[in-house]
Amino acid sequence: MEFFRFNHNIPFMRWRRAGAVISIVTFALSVFFITTKGLNLGVDFTGGTVLEVSYNQAADLEKVRGVLTDLGMSDASVQNFGTSREVLIRLPIKPEFSSAQLSETVMSALRQADSSVEMKRVEFVGPQVGAELLENGALALLFVSLGIVAYLAVRFEWKFGVSGIIANLHDVVIIVGCFAFFQWEFSLTVLAAILAILGYSVNESVVIFDRIRENFRKYRKASITEVIDSAITETMSRTIITHGSTQMVVIAMLLFGGEVLHYFALALTIGILFGIYSSIMVGSSIIMLLGVKREDLVKIEKKPLENDGAVV
């Protein structure tokens, strides 16, 4: 299905130097912010107290957040858990309170606001557990990245694997850099969004790489620049439809999903936008930089092909 048809190839590779400047600057800024400002880690990683409470009727989450803000705990996470009557509250570590004192203080304030509230469960997540979660999350990113490189190297050629993983890590670093710069809360749900973006972005890269391989066989006299431009242009209709549809769903989650899905959807939004850019400009530009050759992908036959000219 091709709703958007382009009569001439778009000269993406003509703009690769400008794209390289944009990528290097945004990447460097992201690394700078991650190094200097650090991440605003959520309770999942830093440790804290988790409360599960229930109400006789549907809980008013904004009212619960207001109670916690009055207690000086505006950084607490409040969300429905299971049903609309049950609420999960995540409280970061407070040096002036023990875990038991913190839970009692919060429950006392909640009972004053609504006497029907009942505590169902209270748990304490220690800093050591949070550190293990952070370490396991980093290992998950590493193994996913290695898997992507291995897949692309086997499916195409090692230069494509290097190009694909650099493009994907470019997206990951920029997402994390945005969270560091704006000090948005970085939680397990955000980490899940980053892992999803890795898989989503590599899918776009595979589509473009596969079309590049096909066009090397199809246009024997075309230059590498022309082959890559034609591959990206021919897949542009699919890119617009696929990413446009996905982005609409993610924006709907961002606008109407509430606080629980806010940062998850925000990470996906940033990742999808930069994923399109990196697949087109970063990955393809690195392929040219590494000097991929026609014989790396296809065996040139003596018999001339039907399309034997350069593409326009």
User: Which one, of 272, 298, 280, lies nearest residue 164 by Cα?
Assistant: 280
Task: Look up the pTM and report it.
Answer: 0.76
Counting every residue written for the chain, the total comes to: 312
Burial of 307: CB neighbours in 10 Å, binned 0-12, 13-18, 19+: middle
Q: Report the distance separating Cα 39 and Cα 181, nearest Å.
A: 8
Per-residue pLDDT of the chain (312 residues), as tens digits, is 556 666 778 888 888 889 889 999 999 999 999 999 988 887 777 778 888 899 988 888 889 989 988 888 877 888 887 778 888 888 887 777 777 788 888 899 999 888 888 888 887 776 666 677 778 878 887 887 788 778 777 877 778 888 888 888 888 899 999 999 998 888 888 988 988 888 788 888 888 888 888 888 888 778 888 888 888 888 888 888 888 899 999 999 988 877 778 899 999 999 998 888 888 888 888 888 877 766 655 543 444 444 444 444
User: Which one, of 262, 269, 268, 248, lies nearest residue 61 by Cα?
Assistant: 262
In the chain, the N- to C-terminal Cα span, in Å, equals: 23
- Number of Cβ within 10 Å of residue 130's Cβ equals 19
